[in-house]
Chains A and B, each alone.
Chain A
Amino acid sequence: DSGVTQTPKHLITATGQRVTLRCSPRSGDLSVYWYQQSLDQGLQFLIQYYNGEERAKGNILERFSAQQFPDLHSELNLSSLELGDSALYFCASSVGGRENQPQHFGDGTRLSIL
């Protein structure tokens, strides 16, 4: 158990819909990272938050957004969903601000768009 909790584990929805993925980092971790794993793109970094503020953006679509709340949990919002958004979405956390600390991954949310 990595200590990172992601909900829900599975999500099935239709094109055009909007979903929210939730992540609770390990206790004491200030940084949260979101990654997308798909068959064609592999594992790609989407966005990072540190202590409530956006730290960096990667290959994140404009239809996607995220935030980190005062209690440090994070949510990834995906809107106007397309078939190509079907993927496994991982959240990872680290202490943050200390680059020698590894990232610990949650079990992921499997998103299926029908």
Chain B
Amino acid sequence: AQTVTQSQPEMSVQEAETVTLSCTYDTSESDYYLFWYKQPPSRQMILVIRQEAYKQQNATENRFSVNFQKAAKSFSLKISDSQLGDAAMYFCAYRSARGGSNYKLTFGKGTLLTVNP
């Protein structure tokens, strides 16, 4: 079974600064997808960014980028120019890409990000 570990229960960053959230995962599969979801106080689950394991290039979405290290099974999220609206719980998630699988998401425990003005 796949597992996802987020070792930082809480992180804080100053507005306009850069912060990196860590995520490691364990899998025996070679094809999979990785995601970062954001959950603000409103409790919505918002997709931030995704990475296909077969792609070597790191995904980027505006101020959000990832550092995907497949051999190390590491998938960190970098938030640049942090804004007050970035304050939220961030979840790392894994999904198999194996044919016939159910494509469920396996989540880490989350990292609570505080942005200080």
Contact = CB atoms under 8 A, between A and B. Distances in A.
Interface of A: 2, 31, 33, 35, 42-45, 48, 55-56, 58, 88, 90, 92, 94, 99-100, 102-105, 107-108, 110
B24 to A, nearest CB: 16
> Interface range on chain B: under 10, 10 to 19, 20 to 34, or 35 or more?
20 to 34
Task: Name the prevailing secondary structure of the A interface residues.
Answer: strand
A33 B50 CA distance: 18
Contacts of A94: 103
A102 to B, nearest CB: 5
B105 A42 contact: no
A45 B11 CA distance: 26
Given A99-B97, A100-B33, A102-B35, A42 B43 contact: no
B83 interface: no
Residue of A88, A103, A107 with most chain B CB atoms under a 10 A cut-off: A103
Interface of B: 33, 35, 37, 42-47, 50, 52, 91, 95-97, 99, 101-110
Contact of A103 (B97, B105, B110): B105
Given A43-B105, A48-B102, A58-B104, 4 more contacts: A45-B104, A48-B103, A99-B96, A102-B35
Nearest to A48: B102
A76 B95 CA distance: 23
Interface core residue of B35, B50, B91, B104 (most chain A CB under 10 Å): B104
Given A99-B95, A100-B52, A104-B47, A33 B104 contact: yes
A92 B91 CA distance: 15
Given A56-B104, A58-B104, A99 B44 contact: no
List the 6 shortest-distance A-B pairs measured between CB atoms, nearest first: A56-B102, A105-B45, A43-B107, A45-B104, A99-B97, A42-B109
Given A43-B91, A100-B52, A33 B105 contact: yes
Given A42-B107, A42-B109, A100-B33, A55 B43 contact: no
B50 A102 contact: yes
Nearest to A46: B104
